[in-house]
């Protein structure tokens, strides 16, 4: 029996028969040209998803009309005929791999950004603007104009070789705003009843059908619930879906609204939520459908979960966003039965956070991924090639940076020896298995190790490297990936109370008392506070800085703070822990010193690079590289990128 038979069964969508049930969800690409046209790098991303096996590849958000509103400075412009050759290039790249191309049609409505657009901020109703400019209720002529623009944009996409369109009627964009009682206070035919609030969406669908014909598939994206008091409920959206049944070719069910930022954590599910946390929404809507298939999206990287969703009839297709950024080859690997080779999405939110306009101050406009160091290096010219001059390379350290460097070097044809001072590989990733919400990091570590074991690298465990050993090995190149060392807090030697190191508390949380004070408000301290809070401890988190967890990505930090609040962690900012007494932690604020009652004080005060140890090897080979935490203490992303760069370019 073939692996995942339901996931890899065909499905008919309009005139097309899809080879499997996997859609590459619309992931916004905004490092476009200044005119908004896709670059060769962008097109290579879409091509990579098609080559990896997705049946539909969506190019992401597209502008339908510059004159009535835009939310992002750069967005593929379907109101500009000059975009056509770029659409053809993207669509042709996707079709090379037996996949279908799609675009997502968006009008921002009240989410138009006055920084990029100087016209009225149109919405279903008047209201105070969240970006500083008030909303203006759309009159009939503007509604008619925008409906026409949706149809024109779909027609432009079709002329550009795109196979289908997705109409975005969720996440707080214009069509969603008309649906939501939180945004729509109209008393005319577009307000009041659900049928009235849905009217503009149905007019958009009719306009697209009129211009593109019955054989051009339309997928509609909707939020199954707004997750907000007084907003759209699942019951509301089931009724909305019934109005769409048979009129569209796919109904794509997500959740949340940008108008209430806390719902972002469900819209783009964070790592604290269960896998498939939005599936129940698609399931309820599918039960009410007589004609139109339903797509589910959100935290669906687990192949067994995807298969069970389809096998149990909870949805007809799955849409993957971040999992295909982490590993574009995921579909092909699953089809071939290579599930253990799939690089998992960590749900760290780093990819989305970088360009989360308008919330981040300086959006990078690109999507990068900690587990995929080739993300945004997809252009064929940037792909690494086998070496023509094999070298003997010594890699010192078996953490993620060292493993990635050694693996890529060996795959390219170099002779590689990797030495690790401990009896296990993985470095700091080894601690992930102790944290319930870090299981994907542990899975990722094992994928790295399996790939390394197949690469031909000579692995020497329990082998601390000295300059003498390095010289005996006589490598042409040394790659130092020694990692970081823990910096004991200043107060440690002067403390009489119980002080536990953060990593020890991770391994053995049962050894901490009921009342815990954590000294250190970085990512390590915050995640440990959450873990202990979930175990029922009374936790106080003490941070010298004005805000905790500033070293985390924007959306991950937002979700982590929400989880800390749920478990009742007390956060003391601008506060130093200066000692530990049998009665508790001694802290210092601007008002002076005091003692907080605690059974255990945990030191989570930081790490520093093993720079001196690494530098000892600089003269032991002709070429020397220093990567990962021994260069500078940062994140998995940096370790993997630096490991890949060393592996690809030595």
Residue range 525-542, pLDDT digits in tens? 999 999 999 999 999 999
pLDDT band at 260 (very low <50, low <70, confident <90, very high): confident
**pLDDT band at 381; cut points 50, 70, 90:** low
Q: What is the pLDDT of residue 363?
A: 77
- Average pLDDT, stretch 417-433? 96
The pLDDT value recorded for residue 382 is 62
Residue for token pair 């069964």:
9
Distance of CA 640 to the CA centre of its chain: 16
Query: What CA dihedral angle connects 356, 358, 362 and 364, to 10 degrees?
Result: 40
Packing angle between helix 84-95 and helix 140-159, nearest 10 degrees? 50
Assign 49 to helix, strand or coil. Answer: helix
The residues of the chain that CATH labels 3.20.20.70 are: 11-353
Alpha helices (runs of H) in 460-610, residue ranges in sequence order: 467-473, 502-507, 523-534, 554-566
Tell me: cis bond preceding 542? Omega within 30 of 0 counts. no
% of the chain at pLDDT higher than 90: 88
Least confident of 40-44, 277-281, 397-401, 531-535: 40-44
Q: Supply the pLDDT for residue 621.
A: 96
pLDDT of residue 421: 97
Q: Which residue ranges does the chain devote to CATH 3.40.50.720?
A: 386-486+609-649
Q: How many CB atoms lie within 10 A of CB 386?
A: 9
Average pLDDT over the chain reads: 94
**CATH 3.50.50.60 placement within the chain:** 492-605
Pick among 2.40.30.160, 3.90.1150.10, 3.40.47.10, 3.40.50.720: CATH of 386-486+609-649:
3.40.50.720
CATH superfamily, domain 492-605, is FAD/NAD(P)-binding domain (3.50.50.60)
CA dist., res. 457 & res. 392, Å (int):
11
What is the pLDDT averaged over residues 567-594? 94
* Strand 16-18 relative to strand 22-24, pairing: unpaired
Which of the listed CATH numbers 3.30.70.920, 3.40.50.920, 3.20.20.70, 3.30.70.100 matches domain 11-353? Answer: 3.20.20.70
Least confident of 2-16, 476-490, 491-505, 560-574: 491-505
CA distances from 400 to 238, 321, 532 (A): 45, 24, 26
Least confident range from 168-172, 223-227, 350-354, 607-611: namely 350-354
Q: What is the structure's pLDDT at 3?
A: 93
Closest CA to 163 of 201, 220, 212: 212
597 pLDDT tier (thresholds 50, 70, 90): very high
Position 1 confidence tier, pLDDT thresholds 50, 70, 90: confident
Q: Which H helix or E strand runs over 348?
A: none
Residue 360: is it exposed, middle or buried by C-beta count within 10 angstroms (0-12/13-18/19+)?
A: middle
Residue of higher predicted confidence among 601 and 490:
601
Average confidence (pLDDT) over 120-146:
95
pLDDT for 380: 64
Residue 606, pLDDT above cutoff 90? no
């Amino acid at each position: 029996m073939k692996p995942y038979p339901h996931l890899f069964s065909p499905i008919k969508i309009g005139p097309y028969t899809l080879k499997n049930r996997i859609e590459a969800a619309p992931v916004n690409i905004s490092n476009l040209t200044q005119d908004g046209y896709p670059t060769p790098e962008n097109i290579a991303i879409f091509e990579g998803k098609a080559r990896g096996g997705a049946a539909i590849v969506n190019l992401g958000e597209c502008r339908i009309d510059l004159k009535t509103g835009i939310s992002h400075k750069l967005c593929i412009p379907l109101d500009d005929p000059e975009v056509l050759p770029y659409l053809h290039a993207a669509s042709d790249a996707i079709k090379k791999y037996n996949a279908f191309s799609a675009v997502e049609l968006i009008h921002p409505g009240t989410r138009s950004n006055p920084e990029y657009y100087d016209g009225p901020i149109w919405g279903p109703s008047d209201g105070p603007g969240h970006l500083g400019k008030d909303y203006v209720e759309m009159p009939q002529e503007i509604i008619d104009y925008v409906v026409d623009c949706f149809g024109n944009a779909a027609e432009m996409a079709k002329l550009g070789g795109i196979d289908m369109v997705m109409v975005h009627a969720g996440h707080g964009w214009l069509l969603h705003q008309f649906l939501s009682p939180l945004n729509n206070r109209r008393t005319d035919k577009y307000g009041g009843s659900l049928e009235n609030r849905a009217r503009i969406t149905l007019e958009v669908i009719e306009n697209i059908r009129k211009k593109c014909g019955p054989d051009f598939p339309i997928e509609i994206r909707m939020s199954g619930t707004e997750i907000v008091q007084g907003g759209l409920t699942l019951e509301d959206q089931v009724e909305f879906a019934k109005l769409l049944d048979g009129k569209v070719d796919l109904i794509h069910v997500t959740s949340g609204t940008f108008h209430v930022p806390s719902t972002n954590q469900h819209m783009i599910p964070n790592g604290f939520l269960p896998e498939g946390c939005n599936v129940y929404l698609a399931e309820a809507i599918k039960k009410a459908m007589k004609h139109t298939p339903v797509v589910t999206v959100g935290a669906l990287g687990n192949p067994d979960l995807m298969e069970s969703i389809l096998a149990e009839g909870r949805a007809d297709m799955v849409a993957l966003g971040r999992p295909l950024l982490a590993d574009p080859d995921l579909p092909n690997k699953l089809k071939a039965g290579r599930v253990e080779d799939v690089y998992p999405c960590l749900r760290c939110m780093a990819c989305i956070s970088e360009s989360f306009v308008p919330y981040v101050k300086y959006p990078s406009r690109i999507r990068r991924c900690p587990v995929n160091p080739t993300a945004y290096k997809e252009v064929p010219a940037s792909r690494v090639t086998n070496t023509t001059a094999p070298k003997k390379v010594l890699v010192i350290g078996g953490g993620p940076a060292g493993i990635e460097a050694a693996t890529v070097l060996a795959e390219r044809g170099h002779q590689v020896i990797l030495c690790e001072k401990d009896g296990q590989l993985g470095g700091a990733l080894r601690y992930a298995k102790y944290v319930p919400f870090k299981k994907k990091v542990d899975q990722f570590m094992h994928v790295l190790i399996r790939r390394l074991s197949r690469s031909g690298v000579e692995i020497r465990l329990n082998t601390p490297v000295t300059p003498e050993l390095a010289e005996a090995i006589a490598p042409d190149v040394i790659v130092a990936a020694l990692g970081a060392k823990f910096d004991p807090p200043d107060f440690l030697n002067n403390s009489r109370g119980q002080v536990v190191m953060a990593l020890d508390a991770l391994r053995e949380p049962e050894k901490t008392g009921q009342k815990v004070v954590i000294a250190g408000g970085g990512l390590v301290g915050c995640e440990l506070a959450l873990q202990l809070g979930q175990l029922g401890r009374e936790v106080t988190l003490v941070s010298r800085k004005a805000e905790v967890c500033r070293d985390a990505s924007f959306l991950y930090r937002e979700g982590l703070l929400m989880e800390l609040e749920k478990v009742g962690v007390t956060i003391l900012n601008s506060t130093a822990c200066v000692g530990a007494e049998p009665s508790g932690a001694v802290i210092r604020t601007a008002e002076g010193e005091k003692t907080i009652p605690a059974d255990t004080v945990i030191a989570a005060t930081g790490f520093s690079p093993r720079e001196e140890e690494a530098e000892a090897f600089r003269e032991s080979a002709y070429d020397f590289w220093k990567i990962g935490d021994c260069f500078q203490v940062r994140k998995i992303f940096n370790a993997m990128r630096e490991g890949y760069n060393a592996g690809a370019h030595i």
